[in-house]
Amino acid sequence: MTIARALVDLPEAVEVRTVEGPHGRVLYEIKVDERDVGKIIGRQGRVINAIRTVAKARALRDGKKKITVELAE
């Protein structure tokens, strides 16, 4: 995800894994360096929620109904 890479200090450490589930569900797992976790989460989770909103809008445009974005450890 380009958004996650733009937010962190170590963009080369960002990994995004896509897992396709049943019934058209898609899970995106974002993994970042431990020093950048706070930048992805943001204050009170605002940044990660914004990333989820953008990802869901894109998924709806692409015809996917259920999408989840999680921060992996």
pLDDT at 59: 87
Number of separate domains in the chain: 1
Give the CATH number of the domain where residue 19 resides. 3.30.300.20
Tell me the pLDDT tens digit for each residue of 32-49. 999 999 999 999 999 999
- CA atoms within 13 Å, Cβ hemisphere of 39: 16
- Report the helix count and the strand count for the chain, using DSSP H and E: 3, 3
The pLDDT averaged over each successive group of 10 residues in the chain (73 residues) is 92 94 88 95 96 92 88 87
pTM, two decimals, is 0.86
CB 40 within 8 Å of CB 30:
yes
pLDDT at 1: 73
Q: Give me the domain span that covers residue 51.
A: 2-71
Between CA 42 and CA 47 the distance in angstroms is 5
pLDDT at 25: 87
